[in-house]
Homo-oligomer: A and B are copies of this chain.
Amino acid sequence: MALIVQKYGGTSVGDPDRIAAVARRVQHTQAAGNQVVVVVSAMSGETNRLTALSGSVHPEPPPRELDVLLATGEQVTIALLSMALARLGCAACSYTGSQVQILTDNAHGKARILEIEQTQVSADLNAGRVVVVAGFQGIDEHRNITTLGRGGSDTTAVAMAAALQADECQIFTDVDGVYTTDPRMVPQARKLTRITCEEMLEMASSGSKVLQIRSVEFAHKFRVPLRVLSSFSDTGDGTLITFEENPVEAAKIAGIAFNRDEAKLTVQGVPDQPGVAHHILGPIGAANIEVDMIVQNTAHDGTTDFTFTVHRGDYTKARQLLQHTAQQLSAREVSGDDKIVKISLVGVGMRSHAGIASQMFAALAAENINIQMIATSEIKISVVVAEKYTELAVRTLHTAFDLDDDTQPEEEQR
């Protein structure tokens, strides 16, 4: 008997009919001889409805209260799914984050899971019940309700799988797997049957929306086998995220990710002194703003330019903080741009293949696309270009690195 954790997102539980369909799939999984834990998101549209409600009461609501509000979204879904399961004669029991005891830190809106209590959940599973858990939410040590931020339900699912030592964590979504890039952007994108966890991590952190980065990190850390599947089709095994360190026949490039959610900030003319980077990023971090790419050019004339990217939603706030810092540092000026896209090539095969970077830059140059920033890791190369080039750049690279699916004519896929 295997223990399976399944996660269904907002679209998969978007209305009573879809909830009934999820219930049938869960029942089917249990009937096949598995114990099943189901993690669900709020019904699609619900989080937006709640956010709008809060906005009509307070333009910047206290984060603690916003979490209390948003957490109701998943609570509605766990109740409805448990009812739908009961209707099929399948015993089920719902749990809020508070009831499981998903203990998090107290960073409201982007809390991190610290610990999961599993006694009661295990008891229910052993009694033959399906356990339905509210994703996206937890409680801090003072029983304040916290939320994990958008996509947090994936994290909840993987964390539950890790805590329960599940055999597989299945993420059901509206796509049938991980593609070489977003098929809506590039019709020739190919579905991957497997991808390494490292690659998935880079893909996720580079803007591939299939899985949230934190859930992949969790899966990586706790060695949870993760599978991405479609909740709207019964066929296909989706994409398995593996732990192989050195897959034998790794392609050079697994996929191309892009992220339009970032904004770029530059402090120009910063004195080239030790401690400057910390001085600039300290207040940003203290304001709970996450920084992604960081680039600092070599100094000339005793000053340097310091550039980094943040989430677009944090752009205005970060820029305000930066003005203050720039004054303290006697920097020349602060500039920024929130119309950018980060495009990343990802692949473990990159380690053993030279020249990927130059091939990438050449392909972009051939289309006259100017590169604003470059960052690299062992298995990833990211560039920042103007947002308007997104589609052109991604398609160009997809073709340049032989990722196109040539088995299907382009017309059919459009």
Contact = CB atoms under 8 A, between A and B. Distances in A.
A92 to B, nearest CB: 8
Nearest to A99: B143
Interface in A51-90: 53-54, 56-58, 61-62, 64-66, 68-69, 71-72, 75-76, 78-80, 82-84, 86-87
Interface size class of A (residues with CB under 8 A): 35 or more
A96 interface: yes
Contacts of A87: 57-58
Nearest to A61: B83
A87 B71 CA distance: 21
A58 B72 contact: no
A94 interface: yes
Contact of A80 (B69, B78, B144): B69
Interface string A15-44: 010011000000000000000000000000
Nearest to A20: B57
B94 A76 contact: no
A20 to B, nearest CB: 7
A83 B98 contact: no
Given A16-B57, A56-B16, A78 B68 contact: yes
A50 interface: yes
Nearest to A142: B120
Given A68-B75, A76-B50, A76-B72, A83 B57 contact: yes
Contacts of A78: 68
Given A56-B16, A57-B20, A82 B96 contact: no
Counting from the closest, the 6 A-B pairs by CB-CB distance are A69-B79, A72-B72, A58-B83, A68-B79, A16-B56, A61-B83
Interface of A: 16, 19-20, 50, 53-54, 56-58, 61-62, 64-66, 68-69, 71-72, 75-76, 78-80, 82-84, 86-87, 93-94, 96, 98-99, 143-145
14 contacts: A16-B56, A16-B57, A54-B80, A57-B80, A58-B83, A61-B79, A61-B86, A65-B94, A69-B80, A69-B83, A71-B75, A75-B75, A98-B143, A99-B143
